Amino acid sequence: MANVSLFVSIAELAAMTIHNARQFIAAQDKAAREERRRLARELHDSVSQHLYGITLSVQAARKSIETDTAHASESLDYALSLARVCQAEMRALLLVLRPEALESTGLAIALARHAAAIGARYNLSVEINFCAEPSLSLEAKESLYRIAQEALHNVVKHARARRITLRLYEIDADVTLEIEDDGMGFDPKATFAGHLGLLSMHERAQLFGGSLRIKSAAEWGTSVSVSLPVLNKRALHP
């Protein structure tokens, strides 16, 4: 009987392990689908629209280049400004598709580029105050980048803000990223059915032994602060 009980326990444990593995794979697949949909929206709402604007501006310049040089010059200047915004958008999107590029680009530069692209697209004032490249693993840097991405997405979608401030600094054993806006604010304790963004931000921070804090109030704006422990610098430089 003891052997039978042992086999039953092993079978139950194996079944639970398989169930958990399937749930994990399903969650990963769902996250991948959501990310693809988000990228498709980003391409449509940003790059595609900017390319269309560039086309119209160049066409206008071509029509008026001999009869109204001032208008042609204005149209070309506008096309050039859209091209620069489009370039910033593409850099941000490529980083999402190839997060390993953080290793060569660096977290600070990647965050600055993404924030600049958001500011240019939605006419937001963006202030950046970053330290030197922080002592984090590539995986932790990607986690911080994703948290910032979600926080900025929330600002654009919900906050009605005019200004965004990003700070990245390293003190003692922690690297901290702060994202503040001057928008309408919300109740951080409230639950939002169907919206997993805030939960995923907390989970990403906890995955690397960090913490995430959100402060917000109506008409006051929102502050998102995430801290992750730095790598052992002796391990980095033996």
Give the pLDDT band of residue 150 (cuts 50, 70, 90).
confident
Question: Can you name the residues that pair with 104 across neighbouring β-strands?
Answer: none
Q: Tens of pLDDT along 31-79? A: 666 666 666 666 666 677 778 788 888 888 888 888 888 888 888 888 8
Residue 221, sorted as left (phi over 0), alpha (psi -120 to 50) or beta, turns out to be: left
Determine the pLDDT at residue 9.
67
The answer to whether 151 touches 225, Cβ cutoff 8 Å, is: no
Give the pLDDT band of residue 28 (cuts 50, 70, 90).
low
Q: Rounded mean pLDDT of 191-212?
A: 78
Full-model pTM: 0.62
Biggest CA-to-CA distance, the chain: 98
Show the CA angle centred on residue 106, arms to residues 91 and 150, nearest 5°.
60
Quote the CA–CA distance of 121 and 117 in Å, as a whole number. Answer: 6
Determine the pLDDT at residue 181.
95
The answer to whether 186 touches 151, Cβ cutoff 8 Å, is: no
**In 3-state terms, what secondary structure has residue 179?**
strand
Residue 8 or 164, more confident: 164
Give the pLDDT band of residue 235 (cuts 50, 70, 90).
very low
The answer to whether 223 touches 180, Cβ cutoff 8 Å, is: yes
Q: Tens of pLDDT along 153-176? A: 889 888 889 999 999 999 888 999
pLDDT reading at 194 higher than 80: no
pLDDT reading at 84 higher than 90: no
Q: Rounded mean pLDDT of 136-144?
A: 88
Give the pLDDT band of residue 233 (cuts 50, 70, 90).
very low
